[in-house]
Structure 1
């Protein structure tokens, strides 16, 4: 998606902070999410990415901060209507066949069978349909989880490490699917560990380190902030830290 100054603001995250005892996981993090964009959350392990996503989704209590939806406070009970959060490292309904789980979520979200079949085909899940979820390889488990996310109907998809466990060909296929999802009107917030992968898909980036916001914007805007004229996210991140 090509962003312009007229891109509408979908969510505004204001001054989010989170403490675990004496450890400050997030400190006054603020940013906006624009409608139908693909926004990348970038940072090393331990930078606070997952804590931030869980806080936005309302899964953990925050010490301070607000989430606004089109300028109005979005309370925790109402967030599930606006966003679907897919965490990393989970294997739900592990004892059930993949086909049964996908059929369940299709009914839950009111999705017609042809849409479910399209998602299955897009993600190459046909060989897994008769298998129990717990028998899936890491790559197939990731694609199974992405299928559940794509079957959801909330306007905002929050995905934690969506490419984990995928080989290059699979990852490029998922990138294409997620870009199509954005072009059809959904907004995506992605936590991505590999910087090269983030550059392939994201319109803008949030750089997080030590629970603090280092910068936000397009790659060009971040280069300007970092005082460099060329280079990718890695060079920008190193220049800002």
Structure 2
């Protein structure tokens, strides 16, 4: 199926180091998600080592879930260093639209660095597109009409891949659009599923040979299929998290046989 199998094998063989400047809530589970699929995580908020960590990394994840002035500065330093050496940047503008502070951070990052993949929920994507959409903390709380067109237009405007997550994930480079329909409701009931997806995108982008559209789609499939496998094992949320990591750890090229996606 496309190059999905090669990507998961590449992650296991190359063990790409993903530098996560992520939020305090999800550091542990994001690291475990990367370890489970065979990648290597490193987490740091320290600006003095940001450029050095970028040099040894295969991808950079910037997640503004719990932003502070210091972490924002670290994000900008790391992003500029990543642009300089050419490793992919995945940007998760968590909660943009919830406060002017978060809006300013997102705009600053997007104006000062070239992002390769922007991963966000529908409310966040709509707000970044200039639409006034209400958010509920860091969650999307409105049904956004025409989200496929909004995603495609934002990707074209920013010159990057945009992945809008939801019941159906929408992934676009501004020209092509893919819909990923794998997933399970239980993923919305555990902390940090979207943040884990961003980290996994770091791993797929780190081995995909710059085909970031397919890397983003592949990460959505890995996440969604693993959620489905976990839900087939248990209906308890605590056990679901364990089974989710188990599913990631045994994910093989053949696991993509249950992928449900289409190109528009």
TM-score range with shorter-chain normalisation? 0.3 to 0.5
Larger-Rg structure = 1
Q: TM-score, normalised by structure 2?
A: 0.32
TM-score normalized with structure 1 length: 0.34
Greater share of residues in helix = 2
Between Structure 1 and Structure 2, the one with more strand by share is: 1
More contact order relative to length (CA 8 Å, sep ≥ 6): 1
